[in-house]
Structure 1
């Protein structure tokens, strides 16, 4: 009973502290993820020993919880991206999700295979786990509100929302090679077809659910005054429907959730027009919000903004819980992270592979040189890499991941620290320059 009381006190104090100090942290070279990571280390085995997670005994549960957190974050990012699909900003997304990710995977594969001497299967798996940027920990980098079309923020936000799903087939290929090293020689066209189907089906399913739910609910509200309230239920339900249906169809479910968020916002954009949803709703008093939900001119904006607010708040709790967990793992295995065979691949990822891959992919794009440089540096690794590490441990076992796991964990730690410490200063410089 005493231990439970201490836990409630610690968690409550951390949550209140972060809520009170949010403005101060935003002005300092700090992020919430850094604070949570430090707290996790302090609470872990190397600190006071309050948090000592049993990864092997709870692997499936931890993987599902991390997966759910990613789903919420991807949906929230999709709802932030309020620009027409014909806008050239989406070309930046395609460059970063396509060529940039492929080059990153190739460079990491070469480093792991020839630099570390890992087998091809483990090298590819490590490269795929570390290739995607993180959607959860990039709050400071994403667009400020729905409708923000600043190029740097849009590029980083849309990349983080889509490349977790894009990395999935390469992770599966790496796991298949770990189980059967000769698998790459059999039926390559089957793999290509599965990738095409996985992407196309996920986009279709996510778009159908995202657009369909908002059309149905707004019609019920504006015509029949039904289905009012409980925006959080609609948000979670839409995420679960998109994700579950994509899994059943063997689509890449992370892409489906992101597409659902984009589709929902697209319906709001069509209904509200050039006016930002916050502007459309600013005259609505708190006690009149139910009336706004029934107003044909405001219903789409109201639904989109309230669902997005719920998802973002939920996402902050996910960040809090998962970074505490990652911090406790660092606390338990910190000695393994100090090995030079762990440190140099992490430095190679952050200082060579990511910048070089983005530089190549963004040649001829609408971004200027400082913007391209910032995109190359601000590629945060975090919860997405941690999810794929848990997923791979569950699928292939710890023997296959023994050499990989410390590198993944080290990449998350160094990325959170370096990117978190530099992001505020760099963004201030960037916007003052503009």
Structure 2
């Protein structure tokens, strides 16, 4: 007689049910949280951490000891968010869009790397390569969580010019454009930490190859792939007949996925930085769309929805790690260290980068303070763990997770109120 196990579901079936539920939550939740102080990332983190608190054993391996799955998931989340960030920039090649972001990229980001690396080495006791890795992964702001301060659609006058009210939206614009590029520009410094771990801390062993390959070649090649890929995709798409309404959603979805994966795939095939290629391609597509007579493709809407679903999946992974690994890796010094990095280092380096600008003092403080840390930092850390062995790897993973969690609460709970108070909503 054949025995049938009715109440012993397969783990795969449970996973499918869970994914279906979280996708539904991701689609409906924004309608309920739009007027509340609690943000989507905070809600997702609390729910996923709560669910897996009652799960007896981790369904995933420890992400620090087996980083491949975590690296791939965070990688996908970041490139989707970079596409959304590039499409949000209304004038992606205007100097006004980049005049403050350039300062944050050229001054604030390197200063943050140096200070955090020194802090990790001298005060937290990390090995030099590990301290350098901490500085590299913490320096970039996060495009995944950057939706808290992303620019809104512009208000146009009768001559299709952006109105003064939108020009005042400099805080959102600076932070979004910064997050779009610094996730790619953090790669050379992450690779520097990997070189230090593999070859030694002395620059004579790796500096020349690092400078030529990791800094110059990969940045330039990634940008060129993005320029060419975004332009070619825009010409193909904008010159083709637009489908009827019933298939428009599928059309937009296919375009958004292509705009993300094609530049990224090409850039990675030639060993350049795919993150830069994706963001630049999205900026080029946005520009070509803005000057074309057909302006209602609305790729950014689909990109934002995809980004939201991916965010839930990423926070599921983070919730699993918090309950199965983080508790063992966590040390109490990580809380004051995280606050020091978020509340002192970033604001001071941000203000240093904005010295000499004509920004209002309040806006300088806002831009300097809202350096959100998130999934991008986790990606770089797992990427480094995948390519080299680092001393105190579980410790730096727990510290980075602590920084992400505190950033989500400090920045997430205050963003709406601060932006509204400064008339930036």
Q: State the TM-score, normalizing by the size of structure 1.
A: 0.85
Q: What are the ranges of 5 or more consecutive residues in structure 1 without an aligned counterpart?
A: 272-296
Instruction: Map 1:217-236 onto structure 2 (within 5 A).
Output: 217-221=237-241, 230-236=251-257
- Could you tell me how far apart the structure 2 residues matched to 1:50 and 1:32 are? 26
- Could you tell me how far apart the structure 2 residues matched to 1:62 and 1:335 are? 18
Cα deviation, residue 20, structure 1? 4.2
Could you say which residue in structure 2 is the equivalent of 1:33?
A: 41
Cα deviation, residue 427, structure 1? 1.6
Cα deviation, residue 134, structure 1? 0.7
Is 1:394 the counterpart of 2:386 in the alignment?
yes
Cα deviation, residue 366, structure 1? 3.6
Could you say which residue in structure 1 is the equivalent of 2:274?
A: 253
- Could you tell me how far apart the structure 2 residues matched to 1:72 and 1:335 are? 30
Kindly indicate whether the alpha-carbon contact (under 8 Å) linking 1:134 and 1:380 is maintained by their aligned counterparts in 2: yes
Could you say which residue in structure 1 is the equivalent of 2:261?
A: 240
- Could you tell me how far apart the structure 1 residues matched to 2:25 and 2:80 are? 24
Instruction: Map 1:105-144 onto structure 2 (within 5 A).
Output: 105-144=113-152
Q: Report which stretch shifted further, 66-75 or 80-89.
A: 80-89
The alignment covers a number of residue pairs equal to: 399
Could you say which residue in structure 1 is the equivalent of 2:225?
A: 205
Q: Which residue, out of 165, 168, 186, partners 1:167?
A: 186
Is 1:188 the counterpart of 2:195 in the alignment?
no
* Secondary structure of 1:302's aligned partner: coil
1:15 to 1:64, Cα distance in 2 relative to 1, 3 A: closer
1:239-281 deviations in Å (ceiling 9; x for gaps): 222112212233221011000000001112222xxxxxxxxxx
Instruction: Write out the 4+ residue segments of structure 1 that deviate beyond 6 Å after TM superposition.
Output: none
1:105-151 deviations in Å (ceiling 9; x for gaps): 11101110110122211110111011111101121210123675510
1:205 to 1:13, Cα distance in 2 relative to 1, 3 A: closer
Q: What are the ranges of 5 or more consecutive residues in structure 2 without an aligned counterpart?
A: 1-7, 155-161
Could you say which residue in structure 1 is the equivalent of 2:157?
A: none
Could you say which residue in structure 2 is the equivalent of 1:55?
A: 62
Could you say which residue in structure 1 is the equivalent of 2:72?
A: 64
- Could you tell me how far apart the structure 2 residues matched to 1:113 and 1:65 are? 29
Could you say which residue in structure 2 is the equivalent of 1:216?
A: 236
- Could you tell me how far apart the structure 2 residues matched to 1:156 and 1:49 are? 40
Q: Report which stretch shifted further, 16-25 or 174-183.
A: 16-25
1:74-106 deviations in Å (ceiling 9; x for gaps): 011101112152332311111112211001111
1:17 to 1:266, Cα distance in 2 relative to 1, 3 A: closer
Is 1:329 the counterpart of 2:321 in the alignment?
yes
Q: Report which stretch shifted further, 60-69 or 382-391.
A: 60-69
Could you say which residue in structure 1 is the equivalent of 2:296?
A: 302
1:12 to 1:49, Cα distance in 2 relative to 1, 3 A: farther
Could you say which residue in structure 2 is the equivalent of 1:287?
A: none
- Could you tell me how far apart the structure 1 residues matched to 2:201 and 2:77 are? 35
Q: Which residue, out of 176, 180, 184, partners 2:195?
A: 176
1:263 to 1:20, Cα distance in 2 relative to 1, 3 A: closer
Kindly indicate whether the alpha-carbon contact (under 8 Å) linking 2:26 and 2:312 is maintained by their aligned counterparts in 1: no
Is 1:94 the counterpart of 2:102 in the alignment?
yes
1:146-178 deviations in Å (ceiling 9; x for gaps): 675510110111111111101000000001101
Q: State the TM-score, normalizing by the size of structure 2.
A: 0.86
Cα deviation, residue 16, structure 1? 4.1
1:398 to 1:121, Cα distance in 2 relative to 1, 3 A: closer
- Could you tell me how far apart the structure 1 residues matched to 2:273 and 2:391 are? 27
* Secondary structure of 1:364's aligned partner: coil
Instruction: Map 1:255-404 onto structure 2 (within 5 A).
Output: 255-271=276-292, 297-298=293-294, 301-303=295-297, 305=298, 307-336=299-328, 339-397=331-389, 399=391, 401-404=393-396
- Could you tell me how far apart the structure 2 residues matched to 1:363 and 1:154 are? 18
Q: Which residue, out of 405, 409, 418, partners 1:417?
A: 409
Could you say which residue in structure 2 is the equivalent of 1:281?
A: none
Cα deviation, residue 51, structure 1? 5.5
Q: Report which stretch shifted further, 101-110 or 47-56.
A: 47-56
Kindly indicate whether the alpha-carbon contact (under 8 Å) linking 1:55 and 1:62 is maintained by their aligned counterparts in 2: no
Kindly indicate whether the alpha-carbon contact (under 8 Å) linking 1:26 and 1:424 is maintained by their aligned counterparts in 2: no
Kindly indicate whether the alpha-carbon contact (under 8 Å) linking 1:43 and 1:51 is maintained by their aligned counterparts in 2: no
Q: Which residue, out of 173, 177, 202, partners 1:154?
A: 173
Kindly indicate whether the alpha-carbon contact (under 8 Å) linking 1:337 and 1:410 is maintained by their aligned counterparts in 2: no
Cα deviation, residue 7, structure 1? 5.2
Q: Report which stretch shifted further, 29-38 or 233-242.
A: 233-242
